[in-house]
Amino acid sequence: MHLPFWLTTALLFPVLLYQGKRARRTTPRLPEGQGSPSGQYGEGQPHLRLLVVGESTAASVGVATHDQGLASQLALQLHERTGQVISWHTFGVNGIRLAQLNQTLAGMELPEADLVLLSMGVNDTTGFTPRYRFRRQLLALRDTLAPDYPGPLYLLSVPPMHLFTALPAPLRHIMGWRARQLNRVYEQLARQMPSGFQYLSYPAITDTSLLASDGYHPGGSGYRAIAEALNHSNEMKKLGSAR
């Protein structure tokens, strides 16, 4: 138990409850992206098949179509950097938490992939999922994916919610504190089980012009910025030349 966090949260609970309800009431709820959830850059057999699963960012919330979203933009960046054929597929559900995602994926036939990236954490942050449960669910997800995807699961860092200007203070600071705790679970798993997990971080979006109209999700330029940062990470550079 992280006692300082829970004590602070308990003391501020009436304020946090009010601010949380007001934020849900006043923040526009944007739809998920439309169109095909898959595509390819380049012709012929893919050199790398990319699959992104998770919550609203995997569902391309903030843009009109999936080809403007994270999976497509990352595949495009990889294609342009390496000159290789890169295919992509995305599956996300707006508002989903990790336990629900596990259940959903366990009952699905997912596409073939060489690289699986998980974009999660915001809803488990706002839902106060305990860290031990979050870790256990990550291990369960890895087991679910293992028969089809023997490589590591790439964990995209939990967004820095203390920078979400759509949330008022002190709510955004408490959410940011909690997001950092869950993000450390990612980092610990990647250190302890590198064959099962890899951690991918990217710079926080501080330029509001990169956000969608809700001031919460990335817009088209935001997804491109995230994809560019991931494309230049050491882990992606290795992947681009390894296959």
pLDDT in 10s for each residue of the chain, 243 residues: 578 888 899 888 889 888 988 888 888 889 999 999 999 999 999 999 999 999 999 999 999 999 999 999 999 999 999 999 999 999 999 999 999 999 999 989 889 999 999 999 999 999 999 999 999 999 999 999 988 898 999 999 998 888 887 789 999 999 999 999 999 999 999 999 999 999 999 888 888 888 898 888 999 999 999 999 999 887 777 765 544
The domain locations on the chain are: 42-242
What are 9-28's pLDDT values in tens digits? 988 888 988 898 888 888 88
- pTM score, two decimals? 0.93
CATH superfamily of 42-242: SGNH hydrolase (3.40.50.1110)
Taking CA atoms, 103 is separated from 131, 157, 236, in Å, by: 19, 22, 29
Please check whether residue 38 is in contact with residue 7, taking contact to mean a CB–CB distance below 8 angstroms.
no
**CA separation for the pair 139, 128 (Å, rounded):** 19
What pLDDT, on a 0 to 100 scale, did the predictor assign at position 240?
56
